[in-house]
Amino acid sequence: MSSAPAEAAPEVSISEMITHIRSGRRQSLGDLLQIYRNYLNILATTQLDARLRRRMSTSDLVQETMLAAHRDFDQFRGGSEGELLAWLRQILSHHLSHAIERNVYAKKRDIRREVSLDKVAKRIDDSIAGLSNLIPDPAATPSEIVCRRELAAELADQLAKLKPSYHDVIVYRNLQACSFDEIATKMDIKPGAARMLWLRAIAKFKEVCDVNMAGDLS
């Protein structure tokens, strides 16, 4: 008589991971933060134009954010994934603002050019909206909007699975709102080729997401 197959261990939710870490399993914190590396990378990428990328690295900015989150986790008071995402965005915004001041405006201390943390945070929120809007939702309620922000973390993971040219063209078009002429310049291709690349990238993105993305993304 064959034995019954062993049941798969249930997945631990983000809330449960947070609870476990607070109960003393601090070694799990690195695993928790690693879940959001792609998410933070997408947000950081959308904030750095060509000028800023010459002075700072997206990967370094994300690493600084994760190190700060690891160091200061005791200051996090939330218990849900949504609250954790908001906290991580706040840390990223803080580090991005200071990185811009340090690398771009260090020699030009004109008060009118000081970086506003609120403006940086607003740009990051706009990036989240751009990412979550890849999934059309004509009438989102406030609670659904929160869910869409959490969905953005999952979409960032799916976006990271695409080949670099598909990843980049979606970031330029959907997150940075670049025209096809601008994308063509950035990617050293013709505008028509940029549009075709974007259409192929969106089709592949729908495929890897395995969700219903019916709607006009143009």
**Buried/exposed 26-52: b ≥16 CB within 10 Å, e otherwise:** eeebeebbeebbbbbbbbbbbbbeeeb
Mean pLDDT of the chain: 76
DSSP secondary structure string, 174-212?
Answer: IIS---HHHHHHHHTS-HHHHHHHHHHHHHHHHHHHTS-
Which tops the pLDDT comparison, 116 or 163?
163
- Identify the band that residue 126 occupies on the pLDDT scale cut at 50, 70 and 90: low
What's the whole-number mean pLDDT along residues 161-170? Answer: 91
CA distance 63 to 87: 15
Q: What pLDDT score does 75 carry?
A: 93
Q: What is the pLDDT of residues 62-107, one digit of tens each?
A: 999 999 999 999 999 999 888 998 899 889 988 888 877 776 655 5
Q: What is the pLDDT of residues 37-50, one digit of tens each?
A: 988 988 888 777 66
